[in-house]
Structure 1
Amino acid sequence: MNIHGLRLFHHVATTGSFTKAAELMRISQPAVSSQIKKFEQEIGIILFKPHGRGVLLTEFGKELAEKAQNFFAFEKRIEGFIDNHRHGKAGSIHIAATYLPANFLIPKWAATFKAHNEEINLFIHTTNSQGAFDQLKQFKADIAIYGGGVSERPDEIEWEELLEDELWFVVSPTHPLANQCISLQEMVKEPFIMREEGSSTRERLFSLCQTFQVEPPKIALQFNGLNETIHSVMAGYGANFISSLVVREYVENHQLARVFVQDICVKNKIAICTRKNEKKSLLVSNFIDTCKLSLEKTRA
């Protein structure tokens, strides 16, 4: 297959423009059009269809564009791998992290690592569990740092657990259930404020309800971030199911209150994830070692 033709197609598909693709490749727009036609002839499948004065991807073109994006993302990782080994202390680490570690653990780890590795660039993307694993599997991230349940662990991911914490039900201190001990059936009658679908904690709450055969709660408010959910509960409305790592300080300062649910003790796992059967680069290994050392100092 003509890789140059695939690259041209990739640029046209991602920019949505033959002209912009030509600028990226530093060739003329007619040359791009001509070479795309030759690429279509080579593979025997039409990739674009006319649309007004422009073009749209065909159904096959859309599928090929997704695979080409993964292909060239992998190409960049290979280039980065070579640079890392050539220069030793220079390069980049791309980290996909779920909200819990991204907000409460990684800032300290990243600052500690950068203090001793000034020339290394850290790129941290915060997403939900599925997004973090997808970025790792698609070679868009070197590491995924995950907070959640073990059941969500994909088979193709190497998993190294760093710590665990407990998931708590919390409400406002003025809520009638504050500091009470109740059943799960009573707890889920409350309106809940949670993160979006795809978040690990939300999925685990619904799984808990399924295990104990109770109706899942109504999600009355939904946010994309942890801080928004916390502050909405603090304002006096609804309940939340959340990591103790996130809310312990709020509970100790009486800004939130726990609700003790009978027979329920759910643990959260914080893990560093990499691609299975892939040798870690020196940069990635050094960053993971920094995270572990930071945790050891915290526990000491």
Structure 2
Amino acid sequence: MRYVQLRAFHYVAICGGFSRAAEELFLTQPAISDQVRKLEEEYDILLFNRHKKQVTLTPEGDRLLEITRRLFDSEQQARELLSESRVMRAGKLRIMADSAQHVLHILARFRERYPGVAIEIRAGNTDNVIDQLFSYQADIGVLGEIPTGRDFETVLLNSTPISAFVCRSHPLADRTSLRFKDLTDIPLVMRERGSRTRQKLEEAASAAGYELLPTIVAEGREAVREIVASGAGLGFVSVAEFGEDSRLIRIPLENEGQMMMEEALICLRERRGGKLISALLAIAQEFSAVQD
């Protein structure tokens, strides 16, 4: 087994094809194909299904990819250790967030200390965040519920209840609170399946004996906000994420204590030693200590 063969396999797997892997590694496609072929022949194993122009991993390829992800991430961490000052001057930090506003103050301080580091932020629900961390496509996650298990290092950012919200012209806009019973016969705008906000809300309503049926399902918090602002229905959001919007009115829900959303920064525990990851978590802990 040769390093170049494993590297070729790894990049074909994460890039989704031989051509894209060749571009990423600045090699020719035949060279990449030859390295993968030799690896398969040497161990008499099929790592990729090749059907026309589609390339997919076999079960054996999936298991090998789990290993090479750790291998090449460790290599990256070693490279960072050996060139720490350069990483902190010109590295890249990838963040996957269910709501970026929870970390804006942390990122502002991070940028003050490490102005040369590029920051990439992408949006997704909790399931997306977890998937991206496990696939090493994100370094840091921001999500509305601390995951169980020992795979993650976490820093709690805040904990706030779920509330309803409507546009200012909505018939319920003057209400000081709402019961689940009040929500059963009005149009509801809810997040997609996989949203922890929706899951906690539905669980609390079910425990109270009610089923909340959405009239509109929208992917992403901003989409829900805009639909509600148009007057199409009532939406739900954690208090920390409501923000300032003159178009909208927040209305507390009954049993708020049963619907607390804990927003946290998380990373894979095995990647905690990465210089950029450690630096961001340290800043988050500084803010957390002040709040305590």
TM-score normalised according to structure 2 size: 0.79
Indicate how the Cα distance of structure 1 residues 80 and 133 shifts in structure 2: closer, same or farther if over 3 A, else same: farther
Distance 2:265 2:87 in 1: 22
Q: Unmatched 5+ residue regions in structure 2?
A: none
Give runs of aligned pairs for residues 139-158 of structure 1, distance below 5 A.
139-146=136-143, 148-150=144-146, 152-158=147-153
1:196 is aligned to: 192
Shift of 1:168: 0.8
Q: Secondary structure at the match of 1:261?
A: coil
Shift of 1:214: 1.8
Contact 1:158/1:274 (CA < 8 Å) preserved in 2?
A: yes
Distance 1:32 1:279 in 2: 32
1:7 is aligned to: 7
Once the two structures are superposed, residues 127-185 of structure 1 have per-residue CA deviations (whole angstroms, 9 ceiling, x without a partner) of 21122233334444333222x245x4444222222322232111223323331544313
Tell me which of 200, 206, 214 is aligned to 2:202. 206
Shift of 1:61: 6.3
2:249 is aligned to: 257
Tell me which of 266, 272, 287 is aligned to 2:280. 287
Q: Secondary structure at the match of 1:122?
A: strand
Indicate how the Cα distance of structure 1 residues 81 and 223 shifts in structure 2: closer, same or farther if over 3 A, else same: farther
* CA RMSD between the two structures: 3.5
Distance 1:281 1:58 in 2: 28
Q: Secondary structure at the match of 1:90?
A: helix
Q: Given the alignment of the two structures, is residue 74 of structure 1 paired with residue 73 of structure 2, yes or no? A: yes
TM-score normalised according to structure 1 size: 0.77
Contact 1:74/1:138 (CA < 8 Å) preserved in 2?
A: no
Q: Unmatched 5+ residue regions in structure 1?
A: none
Question: How many percent of aligned residue pairs carry the same amino acid?
Answer: 22
Tell me which of 105, 108, 129 is aligned to 2:105. 108
Contact 1:194/1:202 (CA < 8 Å) preserved in 2?
A: yes
Once the two structures are superposed, residues 58-116 of structure 1 have per-residue CA deviations (whole angstroms, 9 ceiling, x without a partner) of 6336625753673465246424532563547435353434332x0x2333332332123
Indicate how the Cα distance of structure 1 residues 19 and 97 shifts in structure 2: closer, same or farther if over 3 A, else same: closer
1:222 is aligned to: 217
Aligned length: 290
4+ residue runs of structure 1 moved beyond 6 angstroms?
none
Structure 1 window deviating more from structure 2 (24-33 vs 239-248): it is 24-33
